[in-house]
Amino acid sequence: MRKAAPYIAGLAVVVVLTVLAYQSGPRRRPIDPLPLKGGDERDNRAIGEIDLEKLYPGLVLRSSKGPEKIVALTFDDGPDKVYTPHVLDILREKGVRATFFLIGSRVDEDADVAKRIAEEGHSIGNHSYSHPKLTKASPLLAQELERTKEALARLGISDNGFFRPPYGAAEPSLIEQAADLGYRVAMWSIDSLDWRGLSRTEVIRNIQGYVEPGSVILQHSAGGPGEDLSGSVLAVRDIIDLLTAQGYRFVTLPEMFPSPEKCSGS
């Protein structure tokens, strides 16, 4: 029994420290977060989908195919003042740059956080202005993309030329219209499923076992009303440490998928 005493005492200290850290972490929620116009992720996320990457090579991007051990962290639905700053703190601590797909209305709402994302060297993609469910070409798509570009431009920020459709919902006509508007469509190869309110351990499990060279990982740096992303935020540091230990290097999407102009040297 004496041998167990130090273990029990140590365990108690760990529990207390964990509780204190968690209370000071990203558990706080916005009182009235801006809603996602298309509704909650769980109600809209497509299960089956056409293999758009094969239909539109170079326009629809899920992962790079080379042997280099690179991986891209991507965060959707920001910015906000609750979760996004914690994600940024961890990325800065680890010296990692990521890609953030921002919602234009939230850029207008939390401009200071959007500016911080750009100032700290992260890449910013277009995730529409109000997060409607856009699956096909429409005048609304052009309006949503343009309004977000304008919201970013007011802060002196240019987007990176990548568009991520809300909910990952896209049909061929949407891909073609986005291309006509100057965008490549960035999907992902690994979904953390953090929008389900998963724990830190569950998010890590959903990512760690599926990473391969060229993976694009999807997490969220903000959510809809009532969504709890604290587990996902807490997992970011672990994901970085685990993949770094495996020899992976973190890159932004423009680094993983250089534009054709840059590839040709023009």
**Which are the catalytic amino acids?**
76, 220
CA atoms within 13 A on the CB side of 98: 29
In angstroms, rounded to a whole number, what is the distance separating the alpha carbons of residues 33 and 40? Answer: 12
Question: For residue 34, what is the DSSP state?
Answer: P
Maximal C-alpha separation, the chain: 73
Q: Which of 212, 250, 174 is nearest to 63 (CA)?
A: 212
What is the per-residue DSSP string for 62-108?
A: S---SSS-EEEEEEEEE--SSSHHHHHHHHHHHT---EEEE-HHHHH
Query: What distance in Å separates the CA atoms of residue 262 and residue 266, rounded to the nearest whole number?
Result: 6
Strands, E assignment, 194-262: 215-220, 249-250
Nearest to 72 by CA among 232, 220, 213: 213
